[in-house]
Amino acid sequence: MQYKITGTTMQALDVLLQQGESVFTEAGGMAWYRGSVNMETNMPGGILGGLGRAVSGESLFLTTYKATSEKAVVTFTPEAPGSIVAVELAAGQTVIAQRDAFMCAQQGVQLAVHFKQRLGAGLFGGEGFILQKVTGPGAAFFEIDGEIREFELSDRETIRIDPGHIAMFEATVRHDIERVKGVANVLFGGEGLFLATLTGPGKVWLQTMPLNNLIAKIASRMPKSS
């Protein structure tokens, strides 16, 4: 399956489908398409599968777009300013993503809910207990807040992060939290009590402008009601 990502902070994803090829997304996730395309909406995994997707930030239903002509183009756009990330997943390869990050994927990719196994990471990790688990084989696409930075962590290498900046990481990466050291750092450093830690081996994707930070900044400039 071929694709093309265009734009900068308001990107668009064109998925180029040959006849018989298909791509699926959450209900309402498609922007437009060209060519002859068959659209089918259902609830893979039944009620439990739909509820799992719902708590991970997606819709109960998924919609599949299948090309019925020689060529078709289906276009997807993100819900907020940010970047589109394409990940080619091998069979059994898994990435863990923040809620709402999943955009669309090639048939064969599995979308499921992921629960954080460590209590501290869920309580203080910034994204809550529930994330998205996406498993190959196939191409998967994600919408990330702001610009994206990618890091390949070696075995036992750790990166410490303000929790909201975590976008995705491979399932081989361990996700935890640690307390900020130093009273002055806690009181005046502006980072709160905890930092998230990601420990390799594996790849991580970090985002430069978490949507919650953007919302908070806009809200701080809104006029106060009398």
Q: Quick one: pLDDT at residue 84?
A: 95
CB 19 within 8 A of CB 68: yes
Q: How confident is the model at residue 42 (pLDDT cuts 50, 70, 90)?
A: confident
Tell me how far apart the alpha carbons of residues 110 and 99 are, in angstroms, rounded to a whole number.
15
> Residue 132 class from Cβ within 10 Å (0-12 exposed, 13-18 middle, 19+ buried)?
buried
CB 187 within 8 A of CB 67: no
What number of other Cβ atoms are within 10 A of residue 217's Cβ?
10
> Higher model confidence: residue 221 or residue 36?
36
Q: Quick one: pLDDT at residue 19?
A: 95
First to last CA, the chain: 56
Tokens matching residue 59? 């819709």
Q: Quick one: pLDDT at residue 218?
A: 83
Diameter of the chain by CA atoms? 65
**Mean pLDDT, rounded, for 149-169:** 94
Tell me how far apart the alpha carbons of residues 182 and 190 are, in angstroms, rounded to a whole number.
13
Could you read off the pLDDT of 59-93 as tens digits, one per residue? Answer: 668 899 999 989 999 999 988 889 999 999 999 99
> Higher model confidence: residue 218 or residue 103?
103
Tokens matching residue 55? 């708590």
Q: Quick one: pLDDT at residue 129?
A: 64
pTM (2 decimals)? 0.82
**Is a pLDDT exceeding 90 seen at residue 213?**
no
Could you read off the pLDDT of 106-126 as tens digits, one per residue? Answer: 999 998 888 765 544 444 545
- In the numeric block, the tokens 């090639």 are attached to 106
Tell me how far apart the alpha carbons of residues 8 and 36 are, in angstroms, rounded to a whole number.
29
Region of 156 please: left (phi>0), alpha (psi -120 to 50) or beta. Answer: left
- Structural domains in the chain? 2-221 (3.60.160.10)
CA atoms within 13 A on the CB side of 57: 19
CA atoms within 13 A on the CB side of 60: 4
CB 65 within 8 A of CB 39: yes
Q: Residue 76 pairs with which residues in a beta bridge?
A: 13, 30
